[in-house]
Amino acid sequence: MREYRGYIFDMDGVLYRGDTLIPGAVETLERLRRRGRRLVFVSNNSTRARDDYAERISELGLPIAEEEIIPATYATARYLAERHAQERIFVVGALGLVKELLRAGLRLVAEPERAEVLVTGSDPAINYQKLSQATSVLLAGKPWVTTNLDRLHPTEDRVIPGTGAVVGALQYITGRQPDVVVGKPSRLIMEQALEALGVPREECLMVGDIIESDVLAGKNAGIDTALVLTGVAKPEDVERSEVKPDYVLKSIADLEG
Give 89-141 pLDDT, tens digit per residue.
999 999 999 999 999 999 999 999 999 999 999 999 999 999 999 999 999 99
Co-location of 112 and 175 in the same domain: yes
Domain ranges, residue 86: 82-181
Co-location of 17 and 32 in the same domain: yes
User: Is 168 within a domain?
Assistant: yes
Distance between CA atoms of residues 177 and 24, nearest Å: 40
Q: Using the predicted structure, report yes or no on whether residue 257 has a pLDDT greater than 80.
A: no
Distance between CA atoms of residues 33 and 45, nearest Å: 25
pTM of the model: 0.92
Mean pLDDT over residues 217-244, rounded?
94
The tally of domains found in the chain comes to: 2
Co-location of 40 and 130 in the same domain: no
User: Is 37 within a domain?
Assistant: yes
Distance between CA atoms of residues 64 and 9, nearest Å: 11
Q: Which residue type sits at 170?
A: L
Q: Is the peptide bond before 185 cis (omega within 30 degrees of 0)?
A: yes
14: CATH: 3.40.50.1000
Reference 131, options 183, 167, 101; nearest CA is 167
Q: What pLDDT was estimated at residue 45?
A: 87
Residues with catalytic annotation? Answer: 10, 12
User: Is 170 within a domain?
Assistant: yes
**CB–CB of 179/173 below 8 Å?**
no
Mean pLDDT over residues 47-64, rounded?
92
Residues 6+ apart with CB under 8 A from 172: none
160-219: per-residue pLDDT in tens? 788 999 999 999 999 999 999 999 999 999 999 999 999 999 999 999 999 998 999 999
User: Is 242 within a domain?
Assistant: yes
User: Is 56 within a domain?
Assistant: no
Give the three-state DSSP class for 180: strand
What is the band of 17 on the pLDDT scale with cuts at 50, 70, 90?
A: confident
Co-location of 127 and 142 in the same domain: yes
Q: What pLDDT was estimated at residue 157?
A: 72
Q: What pLDDT was estimated at residue 155?
A: 65
Give the three-state DSSP class for 90: strand
Co-location of 171 and 193 in the same domain: no
User: Is 232 within a domain?
Assistant: yes
User: Is 54 within a domain?
Assistant: no
Reference 6, options 241, 222, 177; nearest CA is 222
Co-location of 217 and 144 in the same domain: no
Distance between CA atoms of residues 193 and 8, nearest Å: 7
Mean pLDDT over residues 56-72, rounded?
93
Residue where a domain terminates, one of 160, 181, 202? 181
Residue where a domain terminates, one of 147, 181, 215? 181
Co-location of 203 and 226 in the same domain: yes
